[in-house]
Amino acid sequence: MKRKLMLLNAVLLVIAVLAGWRLRQEWLDAKAREAATLAQRLKPAPPPPFTPLPTAGPVVPSGYADVVQKMLFDRSRNPNVVVELPPAPPPEPVPPLPAYYGTMNLGDGPLVVLGLAPGAQQAIELGGTIGQFKLVSVNTEEIAFEWKGQTIRKKLHELAEAAAAPQAAAPARTETPPPAAPPPQPVAQQPLGPGQQLNSGYRACIPNDNMPAGAVVDGFRKVLIPTPFGVQSCRWDPINR
């Protein structure tokens, strides 16, 4: 039994020695590979080809369109200014249409008798004008006018009734004669002689004074002085001067 234990210990010892030797060989081989790898000179790889960066283009306003569209200073972030236009004026009303008195045809086309005022009748051919209206067409039932680019159509009986209405109302209208003008009042006779006291002792002439030049009244003599305008200046001079 003792010999078996000794033999087993000897085998284990041999195995331990062999394992240690094997580990040492592997460590030495690893060191050799490391030394060979570190001693090896690597050839540097060629650099990649040089590609220059693209040059920046010129600055154009269109490049800032996005900045304008998202402007921070405006709450709406909208650069389009809304312009409120004033309301359009109302359309001009159509003036009264001419009254219709009848149609006649002498072989050269229809002649339409129209009138804008009572008693003022006028024969109009197609294409003719009366007032602001141009006669476009006429038939047995309807008449058409052109006014500022618009075509206005009316029934003949409507315009005929408008022509008959003023004639029916004409006899009932009476004109009141204007009041007679009052007769002219006679011009009041002004007193003759010297008038208002002026500077230097002179006196003015009273309007409508018909006394001749040189007349003496109350110590004053009437004097007429011609002027460059053809009108004589009148005054009363004291006699003692």
Q: In whole angstroms, give the CA distance from residue 156 to residue 94.
A: 18
Q: In this structure, which topology does domain 99-169 adopt according to CATH?
A: SH3 type barrels. (2.30.30)
Report the pLDDT value the prediction gives residue 187, as an integer from 0 to 100: 45
Encoded tokens for 95: 């003036």
Average pLDDT, consecutive stretches of 10 residues, N- to C-terminus, the chain (241 residues): 85 92 93 88 86 85 75 66 84 88 81 82 87 90 91 88 63 58 52 70 77 82 72 76 62
Q: In whole angstroms, give the CA distance from residue 100 to residue 176.
A: 30
Report the pLDDT value the prediction gives residue 37, as an integer from 0 to 100: 86
**What ranges do the domains of the chain cover?**
99-169, 194-238
Determine phi and psi for 205, rounding to 5 degrees.
Answer: -85, 145
Q: What is the pTM of this model?
A: 0.36
